[in-house]
Structure 1
Amino acid sequence: MKKIIFTENAPAPIGPYNQAVLTGNTLYTSGQIAINPQTGELVISTIELETTQVMENMKAVLDAAGMTFDHVVKATIFIMDMNDFAKINIIYGSYFNEKTAPARETVQVACLPKNVNVEISMIAVL
């Protein structure tokens, strides 16, 4: 059985997908980009602010499922430019305890939705 997770504190889906799906004790999130859920505007003035908005959106989705970043077991980061990796990594890392951080891959891609610079998805377990 699956339960659809939705919160107004993260950007609403703009297609045939949901913010997250909970099945059993495992949460699968859709990728989050840097849309401010209150204004609908992209936050892309710097890669640091963009990454922070992405992580805050993810935090809202996790919270809607009754979880925190401590529950995350796997993360995937898609970036437009690998030269931004260090800056993204600093912001991303500030949301986790380094000793218990999840498994992760970071992949440079050719294009992301709305031409953003970073998108992150996660898997979390209660």
Structure 2
Amino acid sequence: MKREQITSSKCGECEGPYALGVKMGNIIFTTQIGTDVSGAVVEGGIKAQTTATMENAKTVLEAAGASFADVGKVTIYIKDISLIPEMNEVYRAYFDEGDFPARCCTQCVDMVDGCLVEMEFVAVF
């Protein structure tokens, strides 16, 4: 199965040896942080970064022909575990109530400068 790169001008460009998103058959993989289109981490705390993270993921999913309804698993890395309630306020708004994907959330104290949250999404459509 060939790996297909997913790109979008609505997200910042990758600066390392990784893809914005990958589609393999009917599976999409993307990992996002709260950056703007220039690639800079957004200011404003966990809610602003979670919103930017979710919007970046939404952009990649849509570029591949999918949506959050197709996401089956999310892995979340958060700098401070006490920020989970605020992150959840934003996160839950992107899914239909009662129809959430499986999820793992773990604290990761050593992240990119200014980054408070990183999310990995796996979608099947």
TM-score by length of structure 2 reads: 0.93
Which 4+ stretches in 1 moved above 3 angstroms? none
Give the C-alpha shift of residue 40 in structure 1.
Answer: 3.4
What letter is aligned with 1:102? P
What letter is aligned with 1:53? A
Give the C-alpha shift of residue 114 in structure 1.
Answer: 2.8
Q: Could you tell me how far apart the structure 2 residues matched to 1:60 and 1:114 are?
A: 23
SS of the residue aligned with 1:49? Answer: helix
SS of the residue aligned with 1:114? Answer: coil
Q: 1:1-126 maps to which residues of 2 (within 5 A)?
A: 1-29=2-30, 31-37=31-37, 39-126=38-125
The alignment-based identity, stated in percent, is 35
SS of the residue aligned with 1:73? Answer: strand
Q: Could you tell me how far apart the structure 1 residues matched to 2:46 and 2:114 are?
A: 13
Aligned residues: 124
Give the C-alpha shift of residue 97 in structure 1.
Answer: 1.2
Task: Let me know the Cα RMSD of the aligned residues.
Answer: 1.1
Q: Could you tell me how far apart the structure 2 residues matched to 1:115 and 1:36 are?
A: 13
Q: Could you tell me how far apart the structure 1 residues matched to 2:124 and 2:9 are?
A: 22
TM-score by length of structure 1 reads: 0.93
